[in-house]
């Protein structure tokens, strides 16, 4: 107890990191399930269905499989770099998420520390870009250390792609920084408060719509997703930089990819979609009960599904989900809790919308050729991002020039 009282900041940070790691690792596991189910339904298939009710235990089965598979290391590989590369990729992906504020800074622990963010930096955006820009090292080192021509070529084209699109990604958000005049995430969100015509949110999505499109396109390429998935090229027999990886090291690269997807979705939410701000005016108090109502609707659907379709152990599993959703829904209807979870609720809803778009893209579009990929990045995306920045800066300084 003396240690807790003497180091309240450290204790609060450790607790928040532990909770965030648990939530993020669970989200990474079930993001794979969500992607497989959504793509399956888009393409008129079932997706995971046998391992647990509606395949809900499939991520657990996949994790156990990767954990106990034989880990084969190529005999000519650089063992140290070969082993550290997937750890580097995953660690950078998880570290970036620690900078994200998932709710308003006004929610505090008794010791005065913010509840919904691990750390609040004045240069949070710059620090996040510094972390994500190092992600290319994990891929490049994985391709090089495998001592395989296929993996080396995959690592080289992956490095070229990620470095190329990172330029456009960074420039596309400078317009938002110019409008807000800050690099702090909470201040970037606070700058988007208010409404046009009393009901249209003053998010950066409208004044920076071109920047948002450039950011989203570059983010998809930066996270190596379809139609820019040249680093993995999952439909090819030789899968790029991780050709020589197996077992849990192989899984860590995919966990890093999904962690990066969550990071860029969080960043898009903060910069362009108002972060944890509600799209509805604060006077519309009925919105406080949306999280509870949503969970109760989920509980009702699961209860009907449990009785009508599930059999055996699957009925028990879905029954547990029903009870959890119903109990959570009732708790979220309690007014103080309903008001307190508004920030995380809207932040999470916006992230899920962007992730759904990611998955939808993968189920719909074919892959670019490599020359098309590079030409699009340098000849179209970069000039448009620069033009958006120049126009934004001109619009801001024009009133000053007229006064001068």
What values do phi and psi take at 45, rounded to 5? -125, 175
Phi (first) and psi of residue 114, to 5 degrees = -65, 140
- 220 plus 315 within the same structural domain: no
| End-of-domain residue from the set 333, 353, 372 | 333
Which residues on adjacent β-strands are paired with residue 201?
Answer: 195
Domain co-membership, 115 together with 137: yes
The per-residue pLDDT for 31 is 93
Taking the C-alpha atoms of residue 341 and residue 354, their distance in angstroms, rounded to an integer, is 20
Over residues 114-121, mean pLDDT: 86
With 0.85 as the threshold, say if the pTM is over it: yes
pLDDT in tens, 370-400: 888 889 999 999 999 999 999 999 999 888 7
15-43 pLDDT per residue, tens = 888 888 899 999 999 999 999 999 999 98
289 and 359 co-located in one domain: no
Q: How far apart are CA 404 and CA 401, in angstroms?
A: 5
Task: For residue 393, give the H/E element and its range.
Answer: helix 382-403
Together in a domain, 254 and 312: no
Question: pLDDT of 263-289, one tens digit each?
Answer: 999 999 999 999 999 999 888 889 999
Phi, psi of 195 (to 5 degrees): -140, 145
Clarify whether residues 285 and 270 are in a common domain.
Answer: no
pLDDT given for residue 3 in this prediction: 60
Q: Assess whether 287 and 264 both reside in one domain.
A: no
Contact 149, 157 (CB under 8 A): no
Residue 73 shares a structural domain with residue 158 = yes
Closest CA to 264 of 340, 187, 168: 168
Q: How many residues does the chain have?
A: 404
Domain of residue 207 covers 2-277+342-403
Contact 139, 155 (CB under 8 A): yes
Determine the pLDDT at residue 136: 86
Residues 188 and 138 in one domain: yes
- Please state, in angstroms and rounded to a whole number, the distance separating the CA atoms of residues 101 and 184: 10
The conformation of residue 204, written as its DSSP 8-state character, comes to T
Q: Which has the closest alpha carbon to 72: 241, 249, 232, 231?
A: 249
pLDDT in tens, 36-59: 999 999 988 888 888 888 889 999
Q: Show which of 312, 333, 354 is a domain's final residue.
A: 333
Cβ neighbours of 321 (radius 10 Å): 19
43: tokens are: 């393409």
As a whole number, mean pLDDT of residues 61-88 equals 90
Q: How confident is the model at residue 217 (pLDDT cuts 50, 70, 90)?
A: very high
Q: Please indicate, yes or no, whether residues 261 and 284 belong to a single structural domain of this protein.
A: no
Is 360 found in the same domain as 327?
no
Provide the 8-state DSSP code for 108: B
Q: What is the rounded average pLDDT of the residues 169-188?
A: 93
In this structure, are 304 and 365 located in the same domain? no
Residues 210 and 90 in one domain: yes
Over 80: is that where the pLDDT of 320 sits? yes
Flag whether pLDDT at 1 surpasses 60: no
Rounded Cα–Cα distance for residues 129 and 173 (Å) = 11
What total number of domains does the chain contain? Answer: 2
Q: What is the 3-state secondary structure (H, E, C) of 235-251?
A: CCCCCHHHCCCCHHHHH
Which of 70-74, 78-82, 230-234, 359-363 is predicted least confidently? Answer: 230-234
| CA–CA separation, 160 and 374 (whole Å) | 8
């Amino acid at each position: 107890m003396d240690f807790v009282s003497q180091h309240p900041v450290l204790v609060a940070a450790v607790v928040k990191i532990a909770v965030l790691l648990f939530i993020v690792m669970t989200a990474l596991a079930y993001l794979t399930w969500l992607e497989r189910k959504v793509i399956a339904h888009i393409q008129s298939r079932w997706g995971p269905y046998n391992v647990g009710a509606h395949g809900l235990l499939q991520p657990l089965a996949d994790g156990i499989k990767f954990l106990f598979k034989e880990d084969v290391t190529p005999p000519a590989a650089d063992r140290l770099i070969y082993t550290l590369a997937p750890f580097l990729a995953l660690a950078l992906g998880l570290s970036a998420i620690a900078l994200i504020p998932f709710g308003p800074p006004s929610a505090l622990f008794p010791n005065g520390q913010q509840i919904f963010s691990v750390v609040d930096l004045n240069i949070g955006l710059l620090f996040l870009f510094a972390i994500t820009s190092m992600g290319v090292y994990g891929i490049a080192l994985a391709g090089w250390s495998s001592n395989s021509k296929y993996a080396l070529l995959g690592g080289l084209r992956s490095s070229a792609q990620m470095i190329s699109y990172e330029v456009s990604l960074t420039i596309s958000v400078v317009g938002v920084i110019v409008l807000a005049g800050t690099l702090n995430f909470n201040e970037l969100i606070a700058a988007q408060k208010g409404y046009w015509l009393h009901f249209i949110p003053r998010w950066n999505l409208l004044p920076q719509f071109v920047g948002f499109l450039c950011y989203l396109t570059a983010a998809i390429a930066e996270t190596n997703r379809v139609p820019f998935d040249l680093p993995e090229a999952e439909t090819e027999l030789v899968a790029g930089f991780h050709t020589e990886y197996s077992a849990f090291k192989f899984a860590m690269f995919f966990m890093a990819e999904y962690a990066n997807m969550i990071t860029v979705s969080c960043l898009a939410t903060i910069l362009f979609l108002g972060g944890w701000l509600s799209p509805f005016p604060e006077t519309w108090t009925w919105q406080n009960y949306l999280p509870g109502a949503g969970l109760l609707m989920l509980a009702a659907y699961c209860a009907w599904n449990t009785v009508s379709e599930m059999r055996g152990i699957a009925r028990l599993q879905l029954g547990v989900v029903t009870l959890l959703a119903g109990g959570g829904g009732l708790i979220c209807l309690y007014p103080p809790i309903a008001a307190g979870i508004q920030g995380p609720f809207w932040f999470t809803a916006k992230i899920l919308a962007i992730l759904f778009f990611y998955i939808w893209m993968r189920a719909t579009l074919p892959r670019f050729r490599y020359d098309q990929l590079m030409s699009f990045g340098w000849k179209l995306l970069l000039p448009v991002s620069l033009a958006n920045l120049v126009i934004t800066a001109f619009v801001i300084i024009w009133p000053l020039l007229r006064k001068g």
